[in-house]
Structure 1
Amino acid sequence: MPSTAFTALVTCFAEDETLDLAATRAQVRRQVAAGNAIMAAGTNGDFTALTFDERVALVEAAVDEAAGAVPVFANAGTPATYETVKLAQEFDRIGVNGIAVITPYFIAATQDGLERHFARVADAVQTPVYLYDIPARTQNHIEPDTARRLAAHGNIHGIKDSGGKQDTLEAYMEIGREVDGFDVYSGPDHLVLWALENGAAGCISGLGNAMPETLAEIIRAFDAGDMEAARAAQERYTAFRTDLYALGYPPALVKRALWCMDPSVGASRQPALLPDPKQDQAIRDILARYDLG
């Protein structure tokens, strides 16, 4: 099966912080042109700063703009199972290709609680559900044994691992090798090629907002068996990640880097990264180093 690179798409805002769907649609078109699939309302999409209705409108716009050219996933995760189910049902109605469900945040969940949470969401929709593990942001982690039990659910089709630990990703991919139809998507930008080489179905990457062609090239070269080109693209991707993320909080910096290239995307909603001339110049210096502009 061909591998798939999803870009965890930024959400665009106007100057007054209202949702700018026209600008967001333009970013969907940009990713489709590069050959990347779309993950809407994820960590890089300011999802915690969006209302329920805004997330629905955002996903409707992304699905409509992609028009079936590439798959569209959407993150339905909230701290409460009840609201997550309601949001997932809206995404089910819209017709996304997959519903990602980030682990609950703020609440300290047990593994049993996580299992019940994901199973209830998967029971409530027809669209394939994908677990989404990012413990550094949610403080809750899907243990591999829990993922293995959930993989037996008829409507849980995989996991996005954004934990950044190679051993955990390896454990998830072992489940993928054992359970037919359970796909693993790598989240860490520096592990895209490594994950593909070890059996991942693809990746879901925030950095693709700033480097869509390089992300797509990793996938294309890998699928074509051109490992020299794949490694070169991954090295460029990793180097850019290292330089950019050294400046601070990654999702806000990806959005700001994109803003430096295209101000129509707007700033992040507060209290995220504020525009700062000194920081913007540092970002522009990095962009110039990689011929991005």
Structure 2
Amino acid sequence: MSIKKYLLFYIISTCAIIFVSLTFFFLPLKSIDSRSYEVLHTISQYGVITNKDEWRNILELTRYGRKVTNVDNLNTLVYGVNKHSSVKQISSDKDMDNMETLKLPSISKYEDLTIINIPSVYSNDDNFSIKYASKLTDLIEYTSGNIVLNLSNNYGGLKEPMIIGASSLIPNGMLFSNINNKKEKYPVYLKNGKLFGGIPGTINELNLYKLSLHKKKLGKKVAVVINNNTASAAESLLLALKNNPNVKVFGMPSAGYTSVNLGRFFTNQNSDNYWWFVYTVGYYETIKPIKGK
């Protein structure tokens, strides 16, 4: 073999060995549980990271999640990156059921006031979400006089049934914008009881269903009651309602979880359980603050 051919063979072989080694290092084998790596990789690509220096330290200390085998420890790391992100292990149908919040809007009375209570809602069943939105729509329609909406202790869940259910009190048009981790802006619009726009994948397919909606009631005075447990999807409803100049907010400052989130399941061929991962992909931008926030 000539010297040139020998050198060429040596260079190609060396490059191949380096490539295989790097592939082995950065892409964990599927024969082991690589979900911690996949979670951190997803955050690196799409997540909003509030403390980038801490994030770099996490990646270095855990070898991109390879050293993390406990889902609770992973959840602590993820929460440290963004307080609206979490990882939870699902081992049974009961665990899945415990994630759901299946309570419909209701009416309560305080002296001469009729109060519409808007609870948290989270369900994998679109039929329940539609039922929730329809119930809220009807309660608003058939409440005489001015309207009081109670969002106290509403931790959020799904924004679509809340906003669509209250859409008779919200003007059509742009409600707010979503800003992703690259600072790109995605306006969110309401039209004819439908939400559209936003960061791709963050608007629920509930919009594909046809709901029985009522006429706009934008002339009514609306009082919205909140507290420090009003969070997430409930805050997005609050932002939407603030586009109506007749809406006034009362109570304590809200929780400040006005972020845009996605959920994803992670499975592994060697495990019977799966992980439910919620991660922040953006935040809201609006010119109408909530209680000064």
TM-score (norm 2): 0.27
Choose between structure 1 and 2: higher helix proportion: 1
Point out the structure with max Rg over C-alpha: 2
TM-score (norm 1): 0.27
Choose between structure 1 and 2: higher strand proportion: 2
